[in-house]
């Protein structure tokens, strides 16, 4: 495993990390989560991603139990706040009240004294940016979180947070968590990359396989037992478009040519960018985790010819495809 600095901070995160969305508390029970986390840790993964809203808090409870036997100082644990978790107008968003209450609820569920990374899961137009930055800065000063960041914020919103932090001598966001995969690259490469250079922002990216599509598993249709086959995943089935499948088939062909799997090539391609500190993978089975970790051996094989081939494939599908 290689470790990269989280942006300009001193924190090192494993190039591949493991997240809990949809899996922990749904497809993945306590026992399997324990198995996945321990297998990941043994193979060098130090970063585990979560959010208060995943499986209504169950994902944090399950992850909290699974990491209990591991050395806390070896782990980088994250969670997020924004989406509704409590009824009522203050049970959501990024008000000072909800940030403080949500953070303490996450700590209780995970059985932790502090989180390493804490994200604003989305931008909140109802809360002044000064209030958000101040709340995060206070949590850092209290030792409840070590770094704070954003997820799916526009570049201008992140820049605004930097400006406010500088003006009032507060901690600016250290990282952004964007979607980044072969289907969705423009935001990271065109909008966020300049912020990484200018502000030292680190990127920890999500859905490297677009929920599994870029593993090639849906090339011949929906597979039983997969994420897209789950009853409440109609929105994911809608994302398995002919254009995306055509593109994935080309990635599969290229992967076969060099003797790796589609998933490994798709993940390795993300790690070619130095702005990416860590790629958060999801896994419902230990074999998937093992396969995805194999991407680390593919990164060095991405020479100019191969990257050019991938560029041609990427041109094939539009971002909305």
- Residue 173 found at the interface with ligand NDP (CB under 6 A): no
- Residue 244 found at the interface with ligand NDP (CB under 6 A): no
User: Per the residue annotation, which of 41, 54, 123, 147 is the catalytic one?
Assistant: 54
How far apart are the two ends of the chain, measured CA to CA in Å? 33
- Residue 85 found at the interface with ligand NDP (CB under 6 A): no
In the residue annotation, 3 being an active-site residue is answered as no
Instruction: Give buried/exposed letters for 254-266 (b at 16+ CB in 10 A, else e).
Output: bbeeeebbbbbbb
- Residue 176 found at the interface with ligand NDP (CB under 6 A): no
> Which of these, 14, 7, 15, 12, lies nearest to 201 by C-alpha position?
7
Determine which residue in the list 21, 82, 147, 148 makes contact with ligand NDP, applying CB under 6 A.
Answer: 21
Q: Which is nearer to ligand NDP, 23 or 277 (CB)?
A: 23
Of 33-41, 62-70, 247-255, 276-284, which part binds ligand NDP (CB under 6 A)?
276-284
Count the neighbouring beta carbons within 10 Å of the beta carbon of residue 306: 18
Q: What sign for the dihedral angle of Cα 66, 71, 72, 78?
A: negative
> Which of these, 67, 96, 72, 92, lies nearest to 82 by C-alpha position?
92
DSSP SS3 for 19: strand
- Residue 281 found at the interface with ligand NDP (CB under 6 A): yes
Of 15-23, 37-45, 107-115, 246-254, which part binds ligand NDP (CB under 6 A)?
15-23
- Residue 215 found at the interface with ligand NDP (CB under 6 A): yes
Output helix, strand, coil percentages for the chain, rounded to the nearest 5.
50, 15, 35
At 122, list the tokens: 């989305």
Of 16-24, 31-39, 69-77, 158-166, which part binds ligand NDP (CB under 6 A)?
16-24
Q: How far is the CB of 161 from ligand NDP (least distance, A)?
A: 16
- Residue 284 found at the interface with ligand NDP (CB under 6 A): yes
- Residue 282 found at the interface with ligand NDP (CB under 6 A): yes
Q: Distance between CA 222 and CA 153 in Å, rounded? A: 32
Interface mask toward ligand NDP for 188-207; x: CB under 6 A: ------------------xx
CB 60 within 8 A of CB 89: no
Residues identified as active-site: 54
Summarize as ranges the residues that interact with ligand NDP (CB under 6 A): 19-23, 27, 49, 151-152, 177, 206-212, 215, 217, 226-227, 263, 280-284, 288, 291-292
């Amino acid at each position: 495993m290689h470790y990269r600095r989280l942006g300009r901070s001193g924190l090192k995160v494993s190039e591949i990390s493991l997240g809990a969305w949809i899996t922990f508390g749904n497809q993945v029970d306590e026992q399997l989560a324990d198995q996945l986390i321990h297998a990941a840790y043994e193979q060098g993964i130090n970063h585990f991603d979560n959010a208060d809203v995943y499986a209504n808090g169950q994902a944090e409870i399950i992850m909290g139990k699974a990491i209990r036997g591991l050395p806390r100082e070896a782990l980088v644990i994250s969670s997020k706040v924004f989406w509704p978790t409590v009824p009522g107008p203050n049970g959501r968003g990024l008000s000072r009240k909800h940030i403080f209450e949500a953070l303490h609820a996450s700590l209780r569920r995970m059985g932790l004294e502090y989180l390493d990374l804490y994200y604003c899961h989305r931008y909140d137009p109802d809360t002044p940016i000064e209030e958000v930055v101040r709340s995060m800065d206070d949590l850092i000063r209290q030792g409840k979180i070590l770094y704070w960041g954003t997820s799916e914020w526009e570049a201008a919103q992140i820049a605004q947070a930097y400006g406010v932090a500088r003006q009032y001598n507060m901690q600016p966001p250290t990282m952004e968590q964007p979607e980044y995969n072969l289907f969705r690259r423009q935001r990271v490469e065109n909008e966020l990359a300049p912020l990484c250079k200018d502000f030292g922002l680190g990127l920890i990216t999500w859905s490297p396989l677009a929920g599994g599509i870029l593993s090639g598993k849906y090339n011949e249709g929906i597979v039983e037992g997969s994420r897209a086959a789950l009853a409440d995943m109609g929105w994911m089935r809608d994302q398995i478009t002919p254009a995306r499948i055509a593109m994935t088939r080309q990635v599969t062909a290229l992967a076969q040519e060099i003797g790796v799997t589609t998933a490994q090539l798709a993940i390795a391609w993300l790690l070619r960018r130095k702005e990416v500190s860590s790629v958060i993978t999801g896994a419902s089975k230990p074999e998937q985790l093992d396969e995805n970790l194999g991407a680390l051996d593919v990164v060095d094989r991405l020479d100019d010819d191969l990257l050019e081939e991938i560029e041609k494939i990427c041109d094939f599908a539009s971002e909305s495809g």
